[in-house]
């Protein structure tokens, strides 16, 4: 018989994998599309990226705290345990980066669509948004990697909760 804790661990690891993998895939495809400077290609890729973020990333974002909380309960870990508390803080940091990124992706898609429809170059606003999108990715990826490390290592961390 499969234990509940094993199922929860599997779901939690799958959620973390989806967050990291989808994020990396989205970043790669958006960067590659942006390099073309082809508004039609960028609009198409950005549309796919927005859909992927809503289907995959959003699902994992919702799954992670639920499975994490259930794992903490089944493993008798208090949520104030140092590594869990630090993971939660990092999760909020990642979310604070991801939420504007989703909005930015939608804006970049819309700007690229408009430029493609008008047979015009990408506007300066697109480039400004792209830079913000690009730089928000670094703390988000670092945060997800750090959370995965904390989840695996469970180090003794004193953070004063």
- Is the whole-model pTM more than 0.85? yes
Assign 23 to helix, strand or coil.
helix
- Could you tell me the two tokens for 129? 């948004």
Instruction: Find out whether 150 and 125 touch, Cβ atoms under 8 Å.
Output: no
Q: Mind listing the pLDDT tens digit for each residue in 107-148?
A: 999 999 999 999 999 999 999 999 999 999 999 999 999 999
Burial of 82 (0-12, 13-18, 19+ CB in 10 A): middle
- Residue ranges of the domains in the chain? 4-153
């Amino acid at each position: 018989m499969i234990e509940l804790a094993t199922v929860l661990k599997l779901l939690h690891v799958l959620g973390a994998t989806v967050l990291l993998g989808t994020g990396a895939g989205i970043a790669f495809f958006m960067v590659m599309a942006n390099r073309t400077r082809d508004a039609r290609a960028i609009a198409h890729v950005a549309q796919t990226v927005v859909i992927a973020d809503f289907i995959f990333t959003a699902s994992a974002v919702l799954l992670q705290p639920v499975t994490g909380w259930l794992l903490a309960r089944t493993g008798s870990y208090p949520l104030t345990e140092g590594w869990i508390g630090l993971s939660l803080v990092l999760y909020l940091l990642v979310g604070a980066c991801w939420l504007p990124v989703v909005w930015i992706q939608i804006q970049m898609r819309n700007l690229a669509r408009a430029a493609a429809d008008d047979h015009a170059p990408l506007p300066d606003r697109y480039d400004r948004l792209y830079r913000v999108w690009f730089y928000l990715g670094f703390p988000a990826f670092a945060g997800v990697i750090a959370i995965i490390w904390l989840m695996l290592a469970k180090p003794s961390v004193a953070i004063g909760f």
